[in-house]
Structure formats: C-alpha cells, structure tokens
Structure 1
C-alpha cells in the first residue's frame, strides 16, 4: 500500500503528449458501416491524467484501442509527442478490465512478459523487481494467479504495464470488476503510481466519482457514434476527498451531461 505522503507530491511530467485530431471510426459489420467515433478531437499534456466518460458502448474503448495503436483510425490522426501513431509500441501500454494473467506463470514471470518479448529480460531483470515493489507485491513474486485476490491480480497487471516504463498508460475500466472496497483502495494506488512515475494516463470508466477522484480532466462523450460533449477541468488538489462540495458539484454537472441529473 502506498503512503499518504506520496499522494501529496505533484506529478512529474515525464510522460508523452497525446493528441487525437479529428478522429472518426467505424466497423464493417455484414457489409454495413457501424459508426463509432465522430470527429473526436482531444489532447493530453505530458504527465496529465485524463478520464473518458460516456454511455456504455459509445466508443470509449475503441478510442483507447486507437491510442494504443491496435488498429488505425478510419479518418483523422493520433499523435504521441507529435509523431503519428501507426501501431503498438512499448511506450503505450494498455491495462484492461480483466488482468489476463497466464495461470501457468508465476507473478514474476507474468510481469516479465514485456521484457521477455523485447529480448531484454536477461539484462533488465531488476525492472521486474522494481515494478512489483511499486505495486506492493514483492512478497508474491513466486505466487501463481489462482493464489491472488482480484485486487492483487489487477496490481500484477499494472506491474506488467509499468515494467515497460510507459510514456502513456491506457486504462480500460481496470477496476470495473473489483468489489467496492478494493476499488476505492486501488483508485488511491493508481493516483500514487501516476504521481510517482509521471506517465500520461488515459482512463475509461463508467464511474463519475472515480473519474473525478483520479483525473485532472474529464472528457464526456455522447451516445454512439461518440462526439465530444464536454472537457471538464478538475482543479481540486491531491489528495482528494470524496465528500468535497466542489467535486459533488462537478458530479452533478457531468450527470446532467449524461442525462442522469434527474435521478440525483
């Protein structure tokens, strides 16, 4: 578990600038085009934490795939530090909702996968130990995934991303399947990791409170095909408190944008 002191330090801008420029995208399904993103433009400064909110299925996760370079956009451009993103790269790492750990590999060997794939594990073994220490799992290096709780497994997934020393960390609802108490604890850990490492972070979540607790900017999308409805700056200092009236007011604003203000 991270210390409260770490949370009070300002983030160091060691990450990359990210620019999404007039991006549109569609899927081809049975010969028909299904539009998913509609002329989306947004940006993140180096070391900035940006959260994406919007209705389920609106295209948020698709945008993350484009940022990760897993597929090219149908129109528009995505740039990392001014360079067009043309495919996957270790500088951009994705953490998904499911940890997707290999059950036959130990925690240490799961975290080492990226370095192993790059052919540099032999000389960079210390990075695996450092990543496990960052997420508080040094004592579980020789454990197997079935011996871990859900929160611990997701921390292994984070360590597997951090071992690559990413400039941009892409988080696709990484806490969505955790119980509420573990989720709250993991939110604090993610903020601490971001502040200590300084990577640019792009988070997809359906939880408005989570977005406001974690991010410096919250981008709100419309129904599919996703259009940008608002880009809201969250100017509360860290550590943040969930009962903060300022955050509660932003929460009401965002719920209004999502058409849910009448229920609160």
Structure 2
C-alpha cells in the first residue's frame, strides 16, 4: 500500500486549552517499504499511526492510502501496539482468529489462522493460553492476529518496547523476516535509534511535540544488519545529534 500524508495536523482539546500534537506533517511511503518514525517519547509518532489506521481523523491536512482518504479502520491496515492485548480466556488460535471471526470469514478461511501462526514461529502453541506464553511469544501472537487479515499496511507502535533485551533482539530480526516474506508496507514507531537503523530502509526523525519532520535518514544496507557496521554507527551518531543527544 502506498501512503501519502499531506500537511497532516492534529490537536486535542484538554479542559480549556488546545494541545497541538502534529504540525503539518507530509510524508510519502512507497508500497513494500519499511519506514521507521523516530523521535522523543510523546512527540506525536503514535498519533500519526492512529491517523493511518483510521482510528482518528486529522484536524488539518489529509492522510491517504493508495490515493484514497483514510477515514475509518479497515482490515487492509492493521495496528500492533506495545502491549499484546490478548484475550486471556482464548487460546493462541482463538486470539489469532479474531479478525476473520469479526468479518464473518473464519469458517471459509480458517486455514489462514494456521498460516499466520506458522509465519510467526508459534507452530505447536495453538492451544496455549496467554498466561502460558513468554512476553516475546505473546507479541508474536499479536503479530499473527494482525497478519491473518492479510494486511497491506502494517503499523507497529513500539511493539518491542516492553520486551527484555535478548527477546527484543530476536524479535527485531523476526520483524524483518516477516516484512520480507509478506511484501507489505511497514511503519514502525520507536524512540530506539539503533532499532530504527537495524530494521528500516528510511528513518524519519521528528521534533519534540508538536511533531514536525526534521530529517530523513536513508539506511542503504542489506539485511541482516550488524550494529558495528561503520555506516550504521555513523548514522546513529547523526540521528542522536538530530535528537539533541550527546554522541
């Protein structure tokens, strides 16, 4: 899916004042591209993902998917949050099947549930319940639940933020493999500079709230990437400088 954001602004009314969150953001993402949105916590990155998911409408500007204004949620665009938000009384299979179930497609297309489970590496855990899973496994279920809808745009809102460091490294590599196998367009929100550079083809750097795009970094390196790659080290230094952090 091609994404086009044109002068998108967003503000929220809080008591008797207006809080600006996005300030005339414009961005194009090509079909099949992996783009990371990098910026300080609370700057408005997640708000932009919600606009792309159709969960909110911009207060100004337009947000387009394949040239069509995004005005409501659609199975072709799925958002994965930091918390897996699994239903504790449903098994892995039942949690993954939620999207198809809601669309009335489960009976005819139940094979897609197993395909999604296999894709995220949870074969054999179909009958497990969330309390029996590790944090990384639970996040894999959340990814499978998103992928079962066969989306064309995958929106990732810091999905690895609460994982331990070793699990996070493993899941970073898994996200790249999932993206490469599926061919979908992916946008990742993160405030982890290294994660953005390891996963994305382009890194869009945002200012503090209200978010404005301050820079774009092109990561022209093949996968899998290595943290000690001199080019990535240089880009990391540049990104930290753009964020006002010491390098």
Q: Answer whether TM exceeds 0.5 for this pair.
A: yes
Question: Deviation string for 1:140-184 (max 9, x for gaps)?
Answer: 000000000000000000000000001000000000000000000
After superposition, where does 1:1-264 map in structure 2 within 5 Å?
Answer: 16-260=1-245, 262=246, 264=247
What's the secondary structure of 1:139's corresponding residue? coil
Deviation at 1:31, TM superposition (A): 2.5
Q: Over aligned residue pairs, what C-alpha RMSD do you find?
A: 0.5
What's the secondary structure of 1:211's corresponding residue? helix
Deviation at 1:238, TM superposition (A): 1.2
What's the secondary structure of 1:63's corresponding residue? helix
- Over 4 Å off, 4+ runs: none
Q: What are the ranges of 5 or more consecutive residues in structure 2 without an aligned counterpart?
A: none
What's the secondary structure of 2:233's corresponding residue? helix
CA distance in 2, matches of 1:235, 1:136: 28
CA distance in 2, matches of 1:196, 1:103: 29
CA distance in 2, matches of 1:69, 1:130: 26
CA distance in 1, matches of 2:115, 2:148: 8
What's the secondary structure of 2:141's corresponding residue? helix
Question: Deviation string for 1:8-62 (max 9, x for gaps)?
Answer: xxxxxxxx00011100110011031100000000111000000001111110000
